[in-house]
Amino acid sequence: MIKHLRIDNRLIHGQVAVTWMNNIGADKIIVCNDKVAADPIQKMALPMAARGNTVYVFTIEETLKYAREHADETIFIIAKFPQDALEILKSGLEVERVNVGNAAPIQGTDYKMVDKSIAATAEDAVVYREIAALRGGKLGSQLTTFNEENDFLGLLAKAGL
């Protein structure tokens, strides 16, 4: 079962490897992004950043296949971009929780800071709203397990997106 789907373009870092994994109680982390999965350096480095947790670096299709074949496992997926998360949700797989984590600004894009750790473009906002529509009209954002969850659609609106 996909216990937690986090959108975080920083992928694996200390918060994810320790705090979120312990909070979720996941068996595995799957980093999900087609370009990252095609990069041999990231495929080697990301598991090392996970501090002993089992990590797979998969394309979207590989992620969907693994989740279907291992429904008995508790899986934590980190999607690099909102579009990656949307594809997972559109697949029909059960996802217990979706969380917008970090989204560092991407050079050369027309982004706005939605809060101190999340940048989004108008195109991203459309995708986030599609995600929310698949989740009963709600989408939360929580930086760490110690922070309160924010209404991400409200943050988008406040930022003019």
Per-residue pLDDT in tens (0 to 9) along the chain, 161 residues = 999 999 999 998 777 777 888 899 998 999 999 999 999 999 999 988 887 789 999 999 999 999 999 999 999 999 999 999 999 999 999 999 999 999 999 999 999 999 999 999 999 999 999 999 999 999 999 999 999 999 999 999 999 99
Cα separation, 30 vs 5, whole angstroms: 9
Is 4 marked active-site? no
CATH for 2-158, among 3.50.50.60, 3.40.50.720, 3.40.35.10, 3.30.1050.10?
A: 3.40.35.10
| Residue pointed to by tokens 């994810």 | 16
Give the tokens for residue 126. 């459309």
**Active site residue: 3, 13, 43, 112, which one?**
13
Q: Are strands 150-151 and 140-141 parallel, antiparallel or unpaired?
A: antiparallel
DSSP 85: H
- Determine the Cα–Cα distance for residues 80 and 8; give it in Å rounded to an integer: 5
d(CA 87, CA 95): 12
**Confidence (pTM):** 0.95
